[in-house]
Amino acid sequence: MISIGIEGTAHSIGVGVIHGNNEKCKVLSNVIKIYKPKKGGIHPREAANHHAEYIADLISESVNKAKIDFKDVDIVSFSKGPGLGPCLRTAATAARALSLSLDKPIMGVNHCVAHLEIGRGTLNDCKDPVLLYTSGANTQVIAFAEGKYRVFGETLDIGIGNCLDKFGRTIGLNFPCGPKIEELALKGKKYLELPYSIKGMDIAFSGLLTAAEHYNKNGEKIEDICYSIQETTFAALTEVTERAMAHTEKDEVLLGGGVAANQRLQKMVNKMAIDRGAHSFVPSKDLCIDNGAMIAWLGLLMYNSGMRMSIEQSYIDQRFRTDMEDVSWRD
Ligand code: ATP
Ligand code: FE2
């Protein structure tokens, strides 16, 4: 079957086309446009305007790149949430228009679950992982347990990507700051003490952000601060992930979200996995970041498990929790 997926939870508007059965997903195309605010953080309305401007072209481009015809599409999927209301509404509206014009079923999916399923669908031997999902707005450790995807740990304040972007802005970097901080961190030598706040299985980043800003004001080297931020936050993320693996007795860990592109994070998680006799997996970068292909794939899995959604039911849910959906597509 062929599924087209529209992703639009935050900065990115993406459209992907996949071909799949219930086991494996083949990505035929995955195109994306990223809204970059000229200064400051993301403005939801402006991001939605950006998405509205590009969505029609992206849909055509994804179909052309996939070398299919619109009539080959079996199902239209979109990100139902969580995310920013105006952005979600823009993507959902496009999905409804496409579904109605092609006369094909529609399926709204959970964005966070899609990050996990795309790993299972595209990576050999990745069957039942604990997902460390680290993006701009989201930081969650997710795994399948008793019929649902459950959150075993998450941020209590901002996402790790936001933390990196906020610090980056204070030192004059442009969005996205994560990759530039990664480069600077490579040149850091001195570890500066930062708050390492894990509460139960959850993590907080804002105290660390304030402390890092103080170091900057006090003239510490930028490279050393970046290095220390990475070492501290990634160690905390790895610790929570390891505890979730121990608790659920799973021996696979999957990375997802934009921050998963970071080599230092990948290395730390991989070392933790090897130390406990487990395996770590990282999807290709285009499947780690927010993308339409993962939405297309989860929509197909849900549809094939017998789930259906009418146009009236295809509303968005800004606060769509990871554990709200009964996972009927796996046992
Ligand atoms: P959402 O939270 O809705 O999934 P998003 O649009 O913030 O959305 P992504 O596209 O998954 O998410 O990720 C963007 C984030 O990833 C930004 O915060 C960016 O700084 C960070 N990022 C990208 N590359 C790297 C890297 N190499 N190291 C660290 N962070 C990175
Ligand atoms: Fe995401």
**Ligand 1 midpoint to CA 43 (Å):** 16
**244 neighbors 141 (Cβ within 8 angstroms):** yes
> Which tokens is 31 given?
């195109």
Q: Which of 113, 133, 135 to mutate to test the pocket of ligand 1 (most atoms within 8 A of CB)?
A: 135
**168 neighbors 290 (Cβ within 8 angstroms):** no
> Which tokens is 105 given?
């079923």
**Ligand 1 midpoint to CA 290 (Å):** 8
Q: In this structure, which residue's CA is closest to atom 9 in ligand 1?
A: 258
pLDDT of residue 23: 86
pLDDT of residue 37: 83
**CA gap 186, 184 in Å, rounded:** 5
pLDDT of residue 22: 81
**111 neighbors 81 (Cβ within 8 angstroms):** yes
> Which tokens is 238 given?
């790895």
Please state the pTM of the whole predicted model: 0.95
Helix (H, G, I), strand (E, B) or coil at 290: coil
- 16: Cβ–Cβ under 8 A, 6 or more apart, which residues? 4, 5, 7, 27, 29, 30, 31, 62, 291, 292, 293, 294, 295, 296
pLDDT beneath 70: ranges in the chain: none
Cβ 237 under 6 angstroms from ligand 1: no
Q: In this structure, which residue's CA is closest to atom 5 in ligand 1?
A: 136
- Contacts of 53-58 with C-beta under 8 Å, sequence gap 24+, read 54/13, 55/6, 55/8, 55/13, 55/15, 55/90, 55/91, 55/94, 56/94, 58/13, 58/14, 58/15, 58/31, 58/32, 58/33, 58/292
**CA gap 52, 54 in Å, rounded:** 6
Q: Give the distance, in angstroms, between the CA of residue 204 and the centroid of all CA atoms in the same chain.
A: 19
**221 neighbors 188 (Cβ within 8 angstroms):** yes
- 214: Cβ–Cβ under 8 A, 6 or more apart, which residues? none
Query: Counting ligands in written order, which one lies closest to the CA of residue 84?
Result: 1
- 100: Cβ–Cβ under 8 A, 6 or more apart, which residues? 311
Nearest to 18 by CA among 80, 76, 104: 76
pLDDT of residue 168: 97
pLDDT of residue 331: 79
**CA gap 166, 176 in Å, rounded:** 10
> Which tokens is 76 given?
């239209």
**CA distances in angstroms from 46 to 55, 84, 90, listed in the order given:** 14, 11, 11
